[in-house]
Amino acid sequence: MANQRSNRELIRRLEAERKAKKTAGEQVKVRGIYDDQQRGFGVRMSVKGTISFVYRWTMPDGSQKRIVIGGASMTVEDARRALTKLIAHTDHKVDDNSVCATKHERRVADA
């Protein structure tokens, strides 16, 4: 599925699709839709209907990581702000050594 804009309208649509499938007796699956603006940022809906904002990225060693930024009580704008702070402290595969060193200094200062 193509990436889509993460906003409240998307969340409402996911909730409506889940309810319709449940009413029709179809099997409900975990849905994850990633944002078309911020790479790795997305909305995830569990089988039970729990909404969470997630971030997925590749570490310098090639391993993939995923973290939950917040739940449905958080607005999309709040999740994006929290993501910006997270990215400033997290090493990514595309980061060079100087960027990784700067991020490490930020993590140490915040600890």
Domains of the chain with CATH codes:
8-110 (3.30.160.390)
CA gyration radius for the chain? Answer: 16
Q: Is the pLDDT of residue 1 over 60?
A: no
Could you tell me the pTM of the whole model?
0.79
How many Å apart are CA 47 and CA 14, to the nearest integer? 11
Sheet containing 31-34: which strands, arranged edge to edge? 31-34, 41-45, 51-58, 64-71
Our measurement of the distance from residue 106's CA atom to the centroid of its chain's CA atoms, rounded to an integer in Å, reads 22
Residue range 34-44: average pLDDT?
91
Residue 89: its H or E element: helix 76-89
Q: Is the pLDDT of residue 64 over 90?
A: yes
Q: Is the pLDDT of residue 56 over 60?
A: yes
How many Å apart are CA 26 and CA 101, to the nearest integer? 50
* pLDDT for the residue numbered 5: 80
Nearest 5°: CA angle at 20, between 14 and 23?
Answer: 140
The encoded tokens of residue 77 equal: 């704008």
Q: What is the mean pLDDT of the chain?
A: 88
